[in-house]
Structure 1
């Protein structure tokens, strides 16, 4: 498992020279519209979690709903985020074909960053993030979701940052990675409070 020292460290890991995280034909999305929370997101995510678990069986160490759509009352892009933990993300044959049979498509391959892969589903718009169990990002995703669920002031602060970032990114014609950068300062400030409350080094 990741240590507290690893969890609080946001490493900016660059691709090796000449490498791209994007699978050929894929790239960052351009839909940065933030909408009001939809109670249906929880049910939609639960169905997809069941789909992934059934497709992968014991290969799926865990599958769960994370990200903004997993936080009741939080405005978000209407795009579900799921977290899939597998024993070895580099062994794509163990999980990618089974997920593709359920409508997912591999779009990101980042073995240099905690083994991360990203698959998209378009029928129910979803980002499925794949990591190994020891990745610090796995712990951060879970902690951030749970913190926002129980701290409405930070949830509302984050919602305001998302709406402002969305409006600015749309005005500038930016893609989702640039939208994420616009709200990063608020995200990091919330993380700092969260880490401090857990007694982690900050």
Structure 2
């Protein structure tokens, strides 16, 4: 199944987007709803909360007085953590039960306010962040809750910043627009990205690069995307992983590149790479197969030492090449060296950029374009190795 994390600050309009996704067919698991369920009257969760905070958190009917509890824990880190230690395990178990009961082709939307604050993005195939300008959020909160303007602003300030949310977001939905506009954007997200993404994960289908070569310089966005993808790869690899790196042209600031995110997952050996194939596929990175890197004889003349496992991405919006290589092997080392060399040597970067732009302008297809670049790389390998020796470069 496809797992989507849906988040946003207080008053951002997250519930609106959750409702739209539910109407389109998503299974929405709302963490706030579950948080209420696990402390319902008569529940073990409520008993534990009362034991920790006293009967002052109960209303006249014996139910949890949520505003009273909020006043106790807001601004008090120790008391908030005590509450989280009670409720979070209960919510997590209830969430796991609901997800386990979902069909295998479900698109599960996990509506969680604190995905960014708790660094939970790697748990999901995608994170959708809902946002609106602060003044809009304040007006919504004052109108819908027993909250003053200052209280609303304090609650917003206590949460993740807009910059932190943007870094975590695979998809950004601004609700400071009409409901019709937001609904159309969410429908397109569903039809054009979520539904095909789910199908690709289930069928282990890789999204291929476009045949037409188009170069861009969107390095800030590429770096943020690569960071999110790398966290998902690392989580899927678990203890068998030896680190994930952003490599290739999109990892070199200032270098024009096709919008393809190249990642390198290091493993102890290719047996570990094969062991990880299913976990990586379930995380959204299906196996393409065994491949061999270009042999650089001055590094290692044995072609067998250059073998790797190639995975791709299942997300229709992002082309990913995931190279799984043995840590310390020649392919692993050269991928890091060539990236670092081009970062450190602007003249070499610019010469490579000129070659790439000339090839792209010639109208070559993606396969021919990649092959034609090798004529530049053959002598470039030697210059990169000389730079490594002179600079004392180490692969880590």
- Name the TM-score, length of structure 1 as normaliser: 0.76
Of stretches 111-120 and 129-138 in structure 1, the one that deviates more from structure 2 is 111-120
- Which residue does 2:65 correspond to in 1? none
State which of 347, 352, 377 in structure 2 corresponds to 1:187.
Answer: 377
Q: 1:186 to 1:92 in 2, by over 3 A?
A: closer
- Which residue does 2:213 correspond to in 1? 32
Structure 1 CA distance for aligned equivalents of residues 206 and 260 of structure 2: 17
2:322 equivalent to 1:166: no
Structure 2 CA distance for aligned equivalents of residues 156 and 147 of structure 1: 12
2:306 equivalent to 1:114: yes
Structure 2 CA distance for aligned equivalents of residues 56 and 197 of structure 1: 32
Displacement of 1:93 in angstroms is: 4.8
Q: 1:57 to 1:91 in 2, by over 3 A?
A: closer
Displacement of 1:92 in angstroms is: 4.8
Q: Which has the larger radius of gyration?
A: 2
Provide the aligned C-alpha RMSD in A. Answer: 2.4
- Which residue does 1:4 correspond to in 2? none
- Which residue does 1:60 correspond to in 2? 241
Displacement of 1:113 in angstroms is: 5.5
State the secondary structure of the residue aligned to 1:192: helix
Displacement of 1:36 in angstroms is: 2.6
Q: Which runs of 4+ in 1 moved over 6 A?
A: 25-28
Displacement of 1:27 in angstroms is: 11
Displacement of 1:61 in angstroms is: 1.0
- Name the TM-score, length of structure 2 as normaliser: 0.40
2:315 equivalent to 1:134: no
Is the 1:114–1:132 Cα contact (8 Å) retained in structure 2?
Answer: no
Structure 2 CA distance for aligned equivalents of residues 106 and 47 of structure 1: 19
Displacement of 1:190 in angstroms is: 2.6
Of stretches 114-123 and 28-37 in structure 1, the one that deviates more from structure 2 is 28-37
Using CA pairs below 8 Å that are at least 6 residues apart, which structure has the higher relative contact order? 1
- Which residue does 2:275 correspond to in 1? 94
Q: 1:184 to 1:28 in 2, by over 3 A?
A: farther
Displacement of 1:110 in angstroms is: 3.2
Displacement of 1:188 in angstroms is: 2.5
2:366 equivalent to 1:175: yes
Structure 2 CA distance for aligned equivalents of residues 26 and 126 of structure 1: 9
- Which residue does 1:3 correspond to in 2? none
State the secondary structure of the residue aligned to 1:73: coil
Q: 1:34 to 1:198 in 2, by over 3 A?
A: same
Is the 1:119–1:128 Cα contact (8 Å) retained in structure 2?
Answer: yes
Is the 2:242–2:267 Cα contact (8 Å) retained in structure 1?
Answer: yes
Is the 1:28–1:175 Cα contact (8 Å) retained in structure 2?
Answer: no
2:338 equivalent to 1:144: yes
Is the 2:273–2:309 Cα contact (8 Å) retained in structure 1?
Answer: no
Residues 20-49 of structure 1 show CA distances to partners (whole Å, capped at 9, x for unaligned) of xxxxx9898524322233311111001111
Q: 1:199 to 1:96 in 2, by over 3 A?
A: same
Structure 1 CA distance for aligned equivalents of residues 208 and 280 of structure 2: 20
Structure 2 CA distance for aligned equivalents of residues 66 and 125 of structure 1: 14
Structure 1 CA distance for aligned equivalents of residues 229 and 206 of structure 2: 22
Bigger fraction of residues in helix: 2
User: Which segments of 5 or more consecutive residues in structure 1 lack a partner in the other structure?
Assistant: 1-24
